[in-house]
Structure 1
Amino acid sequence: MYHYIECGLDNVYLASGYTVEDTSGYGETFSIEDMVGLHNAIGDSIVRQHRTMNGAEFRFLRLELDFSQRGLADRLSTNEQSIAKWEKASNKPVSNRAAERLLRIIYANKKKDEELSRLIESITESDQSLDAEQIQFRHESDGWHTALAA
């Protein structure tokens, strides 16, 4: 059994799918079969667990999604400092449950549905431009209606 701490998580052990070889002059070398598949399996396990994820797991999913702290902060409508704080508390539950749940949803849908990614991007863009838009109301014979200002 190999304790796979290189992934950044303390609780991952490999029962198979790896080889250890002794190389002369360099000591043991370690290789994993299908590293991408292993990381997908770890990510799926984190997303489906029945407890709040901890900071290390949160960081693992962020890195697997190839998001910077800034990029994830934008998608979660928070700031980089919050992301860093959650990740730094590696063995403590992530304190923002809404952000943690949204990260699970983003990860779970990363390979299944590009529509969700587009929706999150659209929401993020609309969050950034919210102050620039003005909503106008007009009254007509059938009642009040809204329209975006031109």
Structure 2
Amino acid sequence: MVMSYHYTDSGLDNIWLEDGYTVEEHPNYGQLISVKNVRGLHEAIGRWLVGQPRTLNGAEFRFLRLELDLSQKSLGVILGVTEQAVAKWEKAKDKAVANRSAERLLRLAYINYLDGKPEFSAVIDRITQLDAEIAEHELRLTREQNGWHKIAA
């Protein structure tokens, strides 16, 4: 009889392993589970999530963020939202993420990360830089021979 293991260490409630794990009985700690190749397992889960035709829920959104090794604050900066907004989406574990654009960008970031496309990181960095520049409240200009130019802050 094949026993399935309910893998909840991912933070997701719907992951079951048919194999790839071992169960040991420890006299002091009871049943111990050891999962083989957790990194590969999480990649398979992530690829499955980004391929889903529905909006990710908060728990799935959190899983992908953690796999990218981003804090809520860092992801908020990238998405142009507050840390609190990211936390709110993730807290609603079973509900679809309210900001569909943010959810799509996270999917895109994750798949590009897996596929090793550093140019995507450069685009994200540039968006973050542009957002910071847009947030400036004053524009200081100087007149030079070849026209007007912004003075560096």
TM-score range relative to shorter protein? 0.7 to 0.9
CA distance in 2, matches of 1:147, 1:92: 51
CA distance in 1, matches of 2:148, 2:42: 47
Q: In structure 1, what is the equivalent of residue 21 of structure 2?
A: 18
Q: TM-score, normalised by structure 1?
A: 0.87
CA distance in 2, matches of 1:12, 1:35: 13
Q: Deviations over 1:83-135 (max 9, x none)?
A: 01100000000010000000000000003200001111111111111244859
The percentage of aligned residue pairs carrying the same residue is 50
Out of 31, 35, 40, the residue aligned to residue 34 of structure 2 is 31
Q: Which amino acid aligns with 2:65?
A: R
Asked if 1:120 corresponds to 2:121, the answer is: no
Q: TM-score, normalised by structure 2?
A: 0.86
CA distance in 1, matches of 2:112, 2:83: 23
CA distance in 2, matches of 1:25, 1:5: 22
- Structure 2, unmatched stretches of 5+, are 142-146
Aligned in 2, Cα 1:126/1:13: closer, same or farther, shift over 3 Å? Answer: same
CA distance in 1, matches of 2:97, 2:29: 40
Deviation at 1:149, TM superposition (A): 2.9
RMSD, aligned CA: 1.9
Q: Which amino acid aligns with 1:119?
A: V
CA distance in 2, matches of 1:31, 1:148: 61
Q: In structure 1, what is the equivalent of residue 63 of structure 2?
A: 60
Aligned counterparts, 1:90-129, within 5 A: 90-111=93-114, 112-129=116-133
